[in-house]
Structure 1
């Protein structure tokens, strides 16, 4: 049996990493991720964690160390945020292209300039096309659990793709919450030892990551895309398996619906602002307004079918984006607008919470009220 503690979400991530027994960790601290790698360093120093902790000189080196170690058959872990993730960008594509199931925690933070250390989703959303599975969490408990789940999915022999578990910087990363910590035995039963199909081994020499000529490159990319799409079912099955094992459920692991069965309108959001949105929905329900909430739990692969089904009876939707694709709109809005292009549902874009700006009850209430009145798409910013 495990234990229950009130701990910081960053500590929950560090504990999850420890429970998953990575053999190599590439670490470089950056706010607001710092507490994650600090806690891991404490575990290693105190003899609680048997891993090769490599303190590198940059985030580019951290992910490169993980790539190299993973290629030899080691389970690896790293964590970063903001400019750190941006510095990793080159290697993100190589890691996924080589089909190496590295797991990384991202403490979401705004990208400079101006310099900003507070949370939004611009860092991980900018990496959405890098071939990494992307999970977004709302609580410390979910952060711990979905690190464990991420390894099981990423290392599945039909997937073999890296995965990010994203938690909002400061708003979640530095928050203390009650967390059920599973025992090592329970995690070992759920997550088997990593056993790669191919690895670098001097006794059985192979080449990994060679040049891909035009007559083979598309085949590699097609296989990568198929693996990403196939992960949709694996994500569902793994979350179901986790629920049975640990008596905690995150639904299908793709989206979560709240009061949507009879709803005419809904809010769609990612991360911690869904908690605020939930309160607003409850309040508006008491006023007789048929409003619901859809939380995006997995952004890559994008759960298009689930979103189409969840929104099939809605008149209009308010999309809350904590990112902006300059010259276009919020990225979540663009994805959902595309998914619902053949539907009559009005899809509205609300940019909010950039650079750690508070997203208040009134902000979300305003977005919903505008959505209820909308007859055509609204593009707006919530200041």
Structure 2
């Protein structure tokens, strides 16, 4: 039962939270209600059995727990009486079960996090905390900033939402275009966290990748736009190989070693169609360029058939449009695949020498792999150990340890 509740928390807690925010009108109150609801489930479900609709049970329980808390406090604080009156009533029971409302709650949550009144760095931190459920430490690791900085950003964002009475809603159509970039970026971050989880024991968090794709479809229905099509194409093409990224023993499987027959052809076909439409305008967005990179992998029947020079050229476009050390790292890998590991090593050494990505484990892991290919095992082990010290994701940790073990066990000179 404990495992079942953990699985439901993992798959449903963000939607439960989003609906509680709609019903209770306050982030902190909703988070407290969420934890109260799951604590109640841990007590009641082993005794009474899992309800037919766990989502509705959790939302209803969390809402009533919140009302009880407010009632107790309102005895000492008259200002809470209006809140209590506004929350209590049977009409909300209909709203809890309204699937159309529930379906939009996550989108409302993202638009609230992305309100232009909230600073952009706080928007991203807030969205990852509330939409993905990441801890401040995990968000800090993803953004390469101190955890207290992330915590302060989230607190300030919540204060801003409360003090400015920022509405928990999807804005009117005339306001959508100015909010589109921020919302798409949040959906992109949600997908990335699912496709390559930054922590935990899973290679892929399918609940997050599926939610990101669902949200992108909702945005596409609200506001058809090439950037939305580009992002949706990117996510579908990447997600098409999600199952192949994890072996039966839950270990990480590299792209070159994946069984391409298991890739989801339906997602690939839809992704390629969306990419073609997104590339029709004279100017294409960054998500569309990334989707074009993913398409090169999807179209290659074998790893050897991959057009790495074209992928490197796409990364050149990304660097020109929006310089980023992560893009530089990916470009280094693409160039290494087409020109050899020595050239890739030179680029990565330059990135690290500039002070960028020093605490990013994948940079050191890529450097280690180039050193391994070049027959420099001692240096490769040192680089793998550096990557190991920075990594927080279970399967990646196991993969790095395996590489170190292989190099350590290899006869000298091999």
What TM-score do the two structures reach when normalised by structure 2?
Answer: 0.28
Find the structure with the greater CA-based Rg.
Answer: 2
| Higher RCO (CA-CA < 8 Å; seq separation 6+) | 1
